Structure 1
Amino acid sequence: MPRPYLLILILASALTSGTDGYSIRLVNGNNDCSGRVEILHNGRWGTVCDDSWDSKDAAVVCRQLGCGGADSANSGAKFGQGSDPIWLDDVVCSGSESSLTQCSHRGFGVHDCSHSEDAGVVCRDVRLVSGSDSCCGRVEIRHNSQWGTVCDDDWDMKDAAVVCRQLQCGSAISAPHSASFGQGSGSIWLDDVGCSGGEGALTQCSHRGLGTNNCNHGEDAGVVCSGDLQKPTLSLISTHAVVSPGENIQFRCTTPKPRCNANAEFHLFINGPAISSQTHVSSVTFNLESVGVSRQGIYSCDYSYQTGTIKSPSSNTVKVTVVHLQQPSIPRIAPDGGFDVGPQGPLIPWGHSFTIICSTESQYAGGSFYLFRESNIKSQPAVDHSASFSFPEADHSHEGNYSCVYEVSLSSRTFRSSASELLVITITVHLQQPSIPRIFPDGGFDVGPQGPLIPWGHSFTIICSTESQYPGGSFYLFRESNITSIQSADNLSASFSFPEADYSHEGNYSCVYEVSLSSRTFRSSASELLVITITASLLPVIGASVSAVLLLSSVLIIILLVKRRQKQRNKETNFKCSFKKGAANTYAGGSHDNKNDDDEADYENVQFDENMDHDDSEQDYINIDHSEHVNVDTDDSEEVYVNVNVMENKSVVGKSNDNIYESDE
C-alpha cells in the first residue's frame, strides 16, 4: 500500500503547478497534460464546475501547467467525478491570464453544481516556446513526461502547418531553422520529420523514431503560426486630417501582436482599393506626398503573410479631407443698370454706384469672400456661396485690378481658394460733346455754304455750351489746332467775344469742355466745327468800284486822243508839202458874218523845203497845190485857206522859218 500512495504522490507532483498561492493539476488523463482539473485551496484539492467552461479557460490551464495549448475543454466529468469540495464555478477567462484563479468566478466554494459537472482539459503534447506567444517559437514535444526538441533536418512549411493546426494557432507563416528561437535542452525527440500537411499531430508524420537523431540543439526547429491575427491600428501621424492640395500625409499601420519577427506585408487602402504596401515585422509608415483631391477619402490598413493568403482584419478607418476650393468667379456687375466695356474690363462712370459679386461652387458651407484690389482687402461672409461688394459712388480711388478669394474653416484650419480672374475696373468721366452755336454779329450775318459770313470790322461772339453732369469746368476755344481762348464755364457755357472782325479771325472753330475730378483732369471730345468767314463792307466796295470806273474812262479817253493825233502825224509824214510858186500864202479870215470888232487878219507865209520835218507846234495852215481850195471852218468861224503842194515820195523832215500874218477881214 505505501508504494501506490507514493506513486500517486509522485504523479500528482509532476502535474502540479502553483501560482498566486494556489496549485492546479490534471488527473485521470491519458498523459501528463490531460485530465480532470483540480485546485489546491486551504490544503484541500477540489474540482471546478463546468458551468461556462470553454477553450479559453482550458488554454489558461494548459499554459499554467506548461502543457502547451489546449486541445479541448471537457465538461460532464469526462475524466471521472472528483470528491468534495467544488472550489470554482462559472469560471470565465479571457485566455491571457497566467492562472485559472485570476479568471472571474463566483468565489471559492460558492457553486450550484455537483461532481457530475466536473470540468476537464486535454492539452497538447506539442508546444512552441521562447516566442512572443504560444503560437510561435521553438517546437517541443512531450514524451515520457519530458519535453524535448525537434531537429530541423528536412523541416519545412508542411511540418509547420501540422504543428500550427495541432496547436490551433491558425496557419503556418514560417518554419525557421537553426534554433531561431534559441537552443533547447534535454532530449531531441524527433529528426528527419516529413509531413504531408494533413496529419493531426506531429508525431503522426514520418520521422526516424522518438529519440533517434544525429542533431544538436543548434539545429532546433521553430514554427511561426498566424494565431489569431489581431486587428491593426491605423493612425495619422501628420498634423492634420484636413489638408490642402499639395500637402503631405503620413499614416502608421501597427499590429498589436507581431508574429515572432516574421515579416508581414502591410497594405494601405483608400475607399476600398489598396494604394500602397510595405513589409515589416510590426508596423510601417506610409508617406503620401503632395496629395491631390484623389487622395480624399476613408483610409484603412491590414497586414498579411504568405503573399496575402493569411490576412489580418482591417484596421480602424481614418478620414482625410483634401480641401480643394474652386476658383471663384467675379462677374461684371452693371452700375446703375448698365456700363460700357473697354478692352480690359468695365468702364464705370464717375459718381455712379456699382457692385462686384464674388461666387463659388464650393462643397463647403459658410466661409467668407475676400475682394482684393492690389494690396487692399475687403471681406464679406458668404451667403449661398456668394458675396456682394457695393461701391455707392465711384471715384478714381476705385480703379484697379480686382480679384476674389474664397476662404473656409474646417477642422480648426483655414483654407483659401486660388484667386479669381482679374476684373479690371476703369472709372471714366464721360463728358458730352459741347455745342457751338452760330452767334449773330451786330444783329445779323449771312450764312455761306460752310458757315457764318462775318463782315470785316464787325464784332461777333462764339458761345460754347454743354449738358455735362460735372459743373465747374472750363471751355477751350480752338481755331484749327491752336487754343484761341479759355473761359471758365458759367452754367455750363462760356462766351468768346471778338470786338472787331478781321481776316485773322477766319478759320475752323471748335469747343472742348474740361473738368477736374479727384485731382485728375478730363476733356470732352471737340464740338462740331464752326467755319468763320470774314467778308468786306459794301460801301467801300461801291466807292472803289466807282473810282475804278472813272479811272478806266479817263484812260480810255486819253488813249483815243493819243491814237487820233498819232494818226494825223502818220498822214503828215507820208506827204511832202509845198506852197505854189515856192511859197504858201495863207489867208485866214473870219467870215463877215462872224467877224468880231477886234478881229485881225492873219497872214502867214511859210517856206517849206524838201526834207523838212514838222514839229509839234500849233495847228498849221497849209496851201496845197490842188485844183480846188479847202475851206476849213473852226469853232470861232474863222475861214482858213490852205494851198498845199504835194510831192510824191517826199517827207517833211525839217521846218523853215514861219511868217505868220494875221489880219481881220
Structure 2
Amino acid sequence: MNMMLSKLVEGSSRCSGVLYLKRQGSWTEVDDRDWDLKLANVVCRLLDCGSVVQTFSTRDQMNWRHGLSWKVPPSCLESESRLGKCVTKRSTSPPARLGINCSGSVRLVNGTSLCSGQLKVKSDQSWSSVYEDDFDQQDAEVVCRELGCGAPSVLQGALYGDSESPMWTKEFLCEGHEAVLLDCDSSAGITHSSAKAVGLNCSEPDDLRLARGSSRCAGELEMKQMGKWNKVAPEISEWNRKMADIICGQLDCGSAVSTGSKRNDFFQVMWLMKTACLQPKNAVRECLLTTFHRSRYNVEIKCSESVRLVNGTSLCSGQLKVKSDQSWSSVYEDDFDQQDAEVVCRELGCGAPSVLQGALYGDSESPMWTKEFLCEGHEAVLLDCDSSAGITHSSAKAVGLNCSEPDDLRLARGSSRCAGELEMKQMGTWNKVAERSEWNRKMADIICGQLDCGSAVSIGSKRNDFSQVMWVMKTACLQPKNAVRECLLKTFHLSRYNVEIKCSESVRLVNGTSLCSGQLKVKSDQSWSSVYEDDFDQQDAEVVCRELGCGAPSVLQGALYGDSESPMWTKEFLCEGHEAVLLDCDSSAGITRSSAKAVGLTCSESDEVRLVDGSNHCVGRLELKHKGNWRPVDIYSWDLMSAAVVCRQLDCGSAVSIRTKDDSYHPTGWRVKTSCGPSDSTIWECVLIWPADYVKILEVTCSDFLFQPNISFATHPDGVSRAMQWGFQVLMGSEFTLSCSTLPQHPGGSFQLVVTESATPQNYTLPAVNHSAHFLFPAAGSAHRGVYRCVYHLYVFSHNLSSESQPLRLTVLASVTHLLIRLGFMVLMVVFTAVLFCYCKAKTRATPRREEANFELGHLGGANNLLGVEARAQGARQRSDGALTQPGT
C-alpha cells in the first residue's frame, strides 16, 4: 500500500481522518476490528504523516453502501509491501470505520515505544534531525503533547542514535503552550557546541486508571480514549495475573496481588485489550484495540501499592523494593528479618517466606532504604510496621526474598490430598477448573509438582449433571518454573466438564526424558531423597513403575539420570513386587554400599498404541489400550504433530497423513483431545482421553509404511552362477539379471538399483511395472563386482517416500574358456623359454670366458638380448684387428 492506494479523509488535514483503501478502482472504508495504536502507526508512516496520536472508531449510517468495508488483518502489516495485498471484504451492519490521527510534522524514531525516540521534524517533504543545542524543555513539552504523550521525562542528545543528515537549521523558541512544534517561533541557527541529535522520552499519557477501589492502586481497570473513560473487558483466552502485574507496574503501584472479572447487571460498551501485546516494556495504551466491545464483565485489579519484588522467577520472588516519596528503594539485609518477610509476603498475596537472603536477586542499587523495619508479623502492610534509625551495616547486600505460593490450589473429593478434582481459590472463593482441549498429563504433572505430590499418574475429565461456574486455565502458560495461579484466567466459564488428577504422592522421577523415566526420588517427612543403587533391585523397580502409572521397568542403572544428591534414603527396600506403593514394602537398615550412585529408572509406557488393519504396523486404524481395553480413536482434535508422536513411538518414522472414511464408525471407542508438541516422546504425555460411543475412526500413515522391497538374482540359461552364504558368484561374460520387487500397496513408483563397494559405484533406475523392475546385464565383467541394494521410491500423500532392501553381494569369476586360453598361453611360454635356454647353453661352450660372462648377463633378456651379445662380440674382434667398420659395411 502506498499514498496512491490509501488516504485519510473527513479530518482536519491529510494526516487525520477515516482510513480508506483504493481497491478495484474505488475507495472503500477499512473495518476497525483488530487494530491498535502500533498498527495504526504503520499507516501514518506509509502516508509520510509522522507518528500515530490516536485511533478511533466511527459508524456512518448515512453513507453505508450495502455494509461493505475492507478488513486489514494485522499480519498484512508485517511489511509495507504486503499492506493492501492481503485485505479481504467484510460486510457489517453498518461497518465500523477505522479513524486515525497522525502527528503530521513530528515523529520519534528508534525508541522503545511510541513516546520515545530520536526527534524528527518534517519540512519541505523531508525529515530532519534536530541539534541538541537548538532544543530545550519547553520545546519538548510541545512535542510530547503533539504526539498524544505525557510530559517529557528524559531529554538528552544521542539518546537514540547519532545525528544524521539532513539536520534542522534553526533553533526552536517555544513557550510551552503551542499546539504543534512548527507553531513555535524560531531563530537562525547558532554555532553548535554539540552535533548530537535530540533524543526524547515522553511519559505515557494519563489515560490508565483503577477506579472505584479502596485506593488508586485497586479497582476496576479503565482506559481513556478520545477524552472518554471506559472499562476494559477481559479476553477469556488471555487475561491472568501476569497481565495485571504489567498494569500495576505502569501505574507505579507495585505488584499485582489479585485480579478478577466483575460482573455487571447489564451489557456495557468497553475497551478490549490485546493481551498478547502486554509485555513489561510495552506501553499499555498501545495494546488497546480500537474496536468497542459490549460485555457484562470488566477487569478488576488489586496492586500491592508500596512493595514489590523485582528480577525474580515468579510474582512471589525477587529483590525487595519499597516505595516512599514517589521513589523505590532497595532494603539492606541487616534491616530486614523473618517477621518483616512474613508481612511482605502476605501483602503481596503470597504464602509464607521460604527463602530470605541478601543479594539473592542481584546487588543493591541506589537509593537504599535508610531505616530498620521492626515488624511483629501481624501487620497488613510493611509500611504499617515500626522502624528505627538506620544502623551501621555489616553488609551492603540488598534483601532477596522467596515467598511460597499461597494455599489456593487443591485436589478435592479424592482418595487423598494428592488425588481428586482440581480447584483454585480466587477472591476467597473455591471453584473447579474447567477441562479444555489443551489439558494433558504433562500439565497435570506440573500441578502435582506444585502440590508437592510427586508425579502425575493420570488425568481425566469429570462430567457434571449440569453446567457450573468454573475457572479456566491458560495451559500454554503452565511451565515447571511458573506458579500455577499465574496461569489462571480471570474469567468465569460455564462448563459441565472439570479436570481430575491423580498424583503418585510419595515417589517421582526427575531429570528424565519422559514422565516414566528419571532419577528416583522418595518422599518422607516432607522432604525428597535419592535412593542408593545398592538399596534397590528389579522387584522394587516394578512397584515404582506401577505406582507411577507406567509399564514394567526396562532400564535400571545407577547414575543414569545424574549423580546422587543429599539427602539420601538410608534404608534398603525389600519389595516382593506385588505392593501397591513403594512405601508399603518392607525395608532393612542401611548396608555398607559398594556404590554411592543414585538409582536411575526407565519404565515402559503402561498404555499402548498400535495401527491395525493396514499393510504393516506403520499404517492403519489408530487404537489405544487404556485401562486394559483396546479401542479405536476418533478424529476429534488430531493433527499431524500429534500423529507424529504416534509414529515416533512405534518407530515408524514421521507422520505422512491422517484421514477418516465418511462411513467408518465404531460403536465404542476413545475420544482423545491432543495437545502434542515436537518434543513429546509418547502419546500418553499429551492426550486427554475418555470413553465415547460411535466414534469416527482415525487412520494414520507413517513414513515407514512402505514394505521393504526384495532383491533377487538370476542368470541366462547358458550362464553359470553359484549362490553363496554371503551372496552370489557369476562367471565372467555371463548374462545376468537383478530384480527388484515389493508387495502391492500403491500403484506406480520406481526402483533404484544402487551399487556400492565396487570399483565404479553407480546406480540404475527403472519404473515399477506390476510392483517390480528387472535390470539386465548382458555380460558380467570385473566392474560388476560389488554390493547391490534395491530402493523403492514412491510419491504419495504429497511426500516422497522410499524403502530399501537387504544387501546382495555379487562376485564375478573367470569362465572355463577364459581359463583354458590362459593355461595354453602359459604352457607355450614355458616351452619357448626352455628351448631358448638350451640353445644359449650350447653356444656359450665355444666362446671365451669374457663373452660367456656377457652372455650370462644378457640372456635373461630373451632372444633379442642374445642377438645383441653376438653383435657386440663381433665388433670387439674387428676392433682388435684395428678395423673401425660399422656393422653391415
Q: TM-score, normalised by structure 1?
A: 0.29
> Comparing both structures, which one devotes a greater share of its residues to helix?
2
Larger radius of gyration: 1
